Amino acid sequence: MDRKNFLKYIGLISAGSLLIPAQLKAFSNGPFYSLRNKTGYFVARGGTIGWYVDDDVILAVDSQFQDTAAQFVQGIFEKGSGPEKILFNTHHHGDHVGGNGVLREAGFTIIAHENVPELQHQVAQNQGGGTPVTADKTFSEKHSISLKNETVTAQYYGSAHTSGDSVIWFEQANIAHMGDLVFNHIYPFIDVNGGANIQGWISLLEKVMNQANKETIFIHGHTNPQYQITGGIKDLENMHNYLSFLLEYVSKGLAEGKSADELASISQFEAFPNHISFGERLSLRANVLAAYGELVSD
């Protein structure tokens, strides 16, 4: 595969960032689960929704799709009706922001990193879609909200899965919503067209692990059905180690003069036997080609 065809391939597997494989439906009959300190998560279809409910606020992290967002709104209003309603978007992919309009109509103010609206518009334009529902407020590095019994902070660490990923910290509960920064034992989607950077992703995970402790609960965006949608630092370590191994594998291959096709022909890393694929975009082949493109462009 020459560089021209390689770049064309990467564009094709990245273009469908709103088309989420059916296998990424949540593996549960849920959909509402409580964790601690009035915080929990919602699973239905698409990226996991985080939530916090108190008598002063209803706060959500991500919105899935229109139909599941409506299901979420109905259920969360049974838990509380705080006068303030807030929605954080962890990034721009359709299975995380597709329900934004439903939550806005329900009174939620939407907050996201400043790169997210532009990325939403870019995807909509590429796919010939309508006008996306984007954030009411944006931030560049950090945005904190002080509530009566909780402080919620959205933090940006740089390009990783996309160029607009935020980690949402529930500080009193010691819970962090990772969005798609953790695909738990799944080959991740590395959104090259959305500004992904694998080296930045590795650095981000290191920073998050340094901020966390052994009691921190992480809410993952997606999980292999044999694993959990929540976890601890070990899950971040596994994600970090996989991405590091991926870069090392491709870097070594480049040094040996191997082509992108040769490197991408591998079926599995022996060091990560439990990783699974959900279609072409979430495959080891796609991951290797994304790493190849990143390294040859450095």
Q: 214-261, pLDDT tens digit by residue? A: 999 999 999 999 999 999 999 999 999 999 999 999 999 999 999 999
Q: Tell whether the model's pLDDT for residue 187 goes beyond 90.
A: yes
Q: Determine the pLDDT at residue 135.
A: 98
Q: Determine the pLDDT at residue 30.
A: 53
Q: Which fold does the domain 3-297 belong to in CATH?
A: Metallo-beta-lactamase; Chain A (3.60.15)
* Cα 279 to Cα 38, 87, 113, 230, 287, distances in angstroms: 36, 30, 28, 23, 12
Q: Tell whether the model's pLDDT for residue 134 goes beyond 80.
A: yes
Predicted TM-score (pTM) of the model is 0.91
Q: Determine the pLDDT at residue 287.
A: 98
Nearest to 60 by CA among 116, 106, 120, 108: 108
Residue 163 or 27, more confident: 163
Average pLDDT over residues 269-298: 96
Q: Determine the pLDDT at residue 6.
A: 38
> Which range, of 10-24, 84-98, 268-282, averages the lowest pLDDT?
10-24
Q: Tell whether the model's pLDDT for residue 21 goes beyond 50.
A: no
Q: Tell whether the model's pLDDT for residue 9 goes beyond 50.
A: no
pLDDT band for 14, please (50, 70, 90 cuts).
very low
Any idea which residue has 């920073």 for tokens?
Answer: 207
Q: Determine the pLDDT at residue 159.
A: 98
Please give the angle made by the CA atoms of 155, 157 and 160, to the nearest 5 degrees.
120
Question: Using H for helix, E for strand and C for coil, what is the string for the chain?
Answer: CCHHHHHHHHHHHHHCCCCCCHHHECCCCCCEEEEECCEEEECCECCCEEEEEECCEEEEECCCCHHHHHHHHHHHHHHCCCCEEEEECCCCCHHHHCCHHHHHHCCCEEEEECHHHHHHHHHHHHHCCCCCCCCCEEECCEEEEECCCCEEEEEECCCCCCCCCEEEEECCCCEEECHHHCEECECCCCCCCCCCCHHHHHHHHHHHHHHCCCCCEEECCEECCCCCCEECHHHHHHHHHHHHHHHHHHHHHHHCCCCHHHHHCCCCCCCCCCCECCCHHHCHHHHHHHHHHHHHHC
Query: CB–CB of 56/99 below 8 Å?
Result: no
pLDDT band for 29, please (50, 70, 90 cuts).
very low
CA 259/CA 253 separation, integer angstroms: 8
Average pLDDT over residues 42-68: 96
Task: Name 18's Cβ contacts closer than 8 Å, sequence gap at least 6.
Answer: 93, 94, 95, 98, 123, 127, 129
Average pLDDT over residues 135-140: 98
What is the tens place of the pLDDT at every residue in 66-109?
Answer: 999 999 999 999 998 889 999 999 999 999 999 999 999 999 99
Q: Tell whether the model's pLDDT for residue 190 goes beyond 70.
A: yes
Handedness of CA 273, 275, 278, 279 (dihedral sign): negative
CA 25/CA 50 separation, integer angstroms: 16
Average pLDDT over residues 37-65: 96
Q: Determine the pLDDT at residue 298.
A: 74
Domain ranges of the chain: 3-297
Nearest to 215 by CA among 6, 36, 60, 29: 36
Read off the tokens for 177. Answer: 């919503």
Q: Tell whether the model's pLDDT for residue 15 goes beyond 80.
A: no
pLDDT band for 130, please (50, 70, 90 cuts).
confident
Q: What is the mean pLDDT of the chain?
A: 91
pLDDT band for 127, please (50, 70, 90 cuts).
confident
Q: Determine the pLDDT at residue 251.
A: 98
Burial degree of 63 (CB within 10 A; 0-12, 13-18, 19+):
buried
